C-alpha cells in the first residue's frame, strides 16, 4: 500500500500498483472534498470512472450520488452447485448455456411478461421509482449488457460453480442521474466550495439529514434490493436447468456499488464503495477475473485502512473503444481457448466489440497479490463457459 497526502486534503491510500493518471486525479479531488473523512482508499483494481474512480472507497459525512455510480447495487452472486465439474463435458456445457439463453434475457432484452416479486408491492412513494416501476417488472431476472455475465466455473475443490454479475438495470441509472442533477443544483445554489466538481461527472453532494439525502438513500436501498433479487432470480433459473434446488446450494450474493452507514475510526460515516466490496473480518466475498481468467471466493480480513473493503474484480486496463481499436479477433480468440463462449459482438456502428476480452483487464493474480492484507482466498474458480450481456 502506498500513501500520499494532497495539500489541504485527507491522505490517499492505494493498493493499486499501476494507478492511471486519470484515476489519480479523481482521487486527488476526492481527498480535498469538504465531506471527506479520514482518508481515500483505492483498491488494486482501481481505474478511472465518472466523478470517482472505480475501485475507490471513501467515508463521508454526506452522500455523493456519483460516488455510488449509475449501476446502483451492481454485484455478484456465486453458487456452489455441489455437482462435480469433471462430469460436465463440452456437449453438456453447451447444452446448459443454450438453455440459459432461452430463459435469461441478455443485453437490451426484457422479459415477455411482468415478473413476480414481493418487493414491487413495497416500492417507496418516490417519483423516480414509480416512473420506472412498470419497466422494472419486465427487467427483473435479466442480465443486461456491458461487462455483466453468467459463467460456469470449476472450483479447485472439484465442484461446479455458477457466477453471475448484474445489477439494478435501469433503476440504478435513473436514480443516479436524477439525484446527481439535484445535488448539482443544490451545490450551485449554496455556492458550495465543491464548485469545481459540480458538473455531470462531478462530486456534488446531498447533506446528511436533508430530505434530499434521505430520499436518495431510500431509493438507492430499493435499487439494491431489486439488484439482489435480480441476480437470485437468474440463479434459480440456471440451477433449475441443472435439476437442483436452491436449498441444495451454498450461495454468496454481494453488492459493489452502494453507500452505507458504518462506524470507522470511531465515527459513523457514509461509506461509498464504487467498484469495491465489503471485506469485514470473516465475511465471504467474490472477486471475479476477466472473461477467460480465474475468479476467487474470498474471506475478508477487516483491514481498517481499506474501510473493510477489497477489489470487486480485475479492473480495466483498457477502455472498451481502446480495446476494440488495438486488439485483434485472433488474439482474443486465443485468450479464450478451452472456454465455451459466444463469438464477439458488435457495437452500435456494427464494428466488432472486443471491450470484454481478457486483455482489456488487469491480471487478476496481480490484483489478488496486491490485496493479501485485505482478503484470504477460500477457493479459486476456473472458467468453463460464459455468456456475456
Written in H, E and C, the secondary structure of 35-51 is CEEEEEEEEEEEECCCC
Contact 70/278 with Cβ under 8 angstroms?
no
Is residue 279 helix, strand or coil? coil
Dump the DSSP string for 294-309: -EEEEEE---GGGTSE
* Residues 6 or more apart in contact with residue 188 via CB below 8 angstroms: 195, 198
- Is residue 312 part of the annotated active site? The answer reads yes
Please tell me the distance from the alpha carbon of residue 30 to that of residue 50, in angstroms, as a whole number.
12
Question: Cα–Cα distance between 276 and 69 in angstroms, integer?
Answer: 12
For 174, counting Cβ atoms within 10 Å of its Cβ (0-12 exposed, 13-18 middle, 19+ buried), the class is: buried
Interacting residues of 251 by C-beta distance below 8 A, sequence separation 6+ = 77, 78, 79, 80, 232, 235
Q: Of residues 38, 178, 255, 312, which has the active-site annotation?
A: 312
- What's the first-to-final CA gap in the chain, in angstroms? 34
- The CB-side HSE value for 191 (13 A sphere, CA atoms) comes to 0
CB 161 within 8 A of CB 155: yes
CA–CA gap between residue 41 and residue 240 (Å, rounded): 40
Nearest to 175 by CA among 140, 142, 131: 131
The beta-strand segments (E) located in 145-290 are 149-155, 159-166, 250-255, 257-264, 267-274, 276-278, 284-287
Helix, strand, or coil (residue 212): helix
Q: Which residues are catalytic?
A: 312
Amino acid at each position: 500500500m502506498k500513501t500520499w497526502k494532497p495539500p489541504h486534503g485527507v491522505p490517499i491510500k492505494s493498493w493499486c500498483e499501476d494507478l492511471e493518471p486519470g484515476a489519480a486525479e479523481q482521487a486527488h479531488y476526492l481527498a480535498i472534498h469538504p465531506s471527506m473523512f479520514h482518508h481515500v482508499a483505492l483498491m488494486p483494481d482501481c481505474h478511472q470512472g465518472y466523478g470517482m474512480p472505480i475501485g475507490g472507497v471513501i467515508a463521508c459525512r454526506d452522500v455523493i450520488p456519483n460516488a455510488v455510480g449509475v449501476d446502483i447495487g451492481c454485484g455478484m452472486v456465486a453458487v456452489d452447485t455441489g455437482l462435480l465439474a469433471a462430469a460436465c463435458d463440452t456437449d453438456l456445457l453447451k447444452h446448459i448455456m443454450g438453455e440459459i439463453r432461452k430463459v435469461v434475457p441478455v443485453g437490451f432484452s426484457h422479459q415477455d411478461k411482468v415478473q413476480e416479486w414481493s418487493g414491487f408491492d413495497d416500492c417507496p412513494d418516490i417519483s423516480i421509482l414509480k416512473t420506472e416501476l412498470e419497466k422494472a417488472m419486465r427487467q427483473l431476472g435479466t442480465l443486461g449488457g456491458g461487462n455483466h455475465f453468467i459463467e460456469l466455473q470449476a472450483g479447485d475443490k472439484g465442484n461446479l460453480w455458477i457466477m453471475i454479475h448484474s445489477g439494478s438495470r435501469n433503476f440504478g441509472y435513473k436514480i443516479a442521474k436524477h439525484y446527481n442533477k439535484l445535488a448539482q443544483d443544490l451545490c450551485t445554489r449554496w455556492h458550495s466550495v465543491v464548485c469545481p466538481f459540480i458538473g455531470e461527472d462531478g462530486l456534488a453532494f446531498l447533506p446528511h439529514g436533508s430530505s434530499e439525502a434521505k430520499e436518495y438513500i431510500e431509493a438507492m436501498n430499493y435499487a439494491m434490493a431489486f439488484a439482489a433479487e435480480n441476480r437470485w432470480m437468474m440463479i434459480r433459473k440456471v440451477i433449475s436447468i441443472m435439476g437442483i434446488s436452491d436449498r441444495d446450494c451454498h450461495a454468496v450474493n454481494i453488492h459493489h456499488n452502494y453507500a452505507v452507514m458504518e462506524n470507522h475510526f470511531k465515527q459513523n460515516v457514509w461509506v461509498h464503495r464504487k467498484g469495491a466490496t465489503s471485506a469485514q473480518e470473516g465475511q465471504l466475498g467474490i472477486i471475479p477475473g476477466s472473461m477467460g481468467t480465474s475468479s476467487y471466493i474470498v474471506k475478508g480480513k477487516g483491514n481498517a485502512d481499506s474501510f473493510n473493503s477489497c477489489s470487486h474484480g480485475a479492473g480495466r486496463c483498457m477502455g472498451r473503444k481502446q480495446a476494440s481499436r488495438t486488439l485483434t479477433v485472433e488474439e482474443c480468440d486465443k485468450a479464450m481457448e478451452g472456454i465455451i463462449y459466444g463469438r464477439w459482438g458488435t457495437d452500435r456502428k456494427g464494428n466488432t466489440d472486443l471491450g470484454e476480452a481478457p486483455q482489456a483487464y488487469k491480471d487478476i493474480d496481480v490484483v489478488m497479490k496486491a490485496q493479501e492484507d485485505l482478503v484470504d482466498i477460500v477457493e479459486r474458480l476456473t472458467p468453463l463457459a460464459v455468456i456475456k450481456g
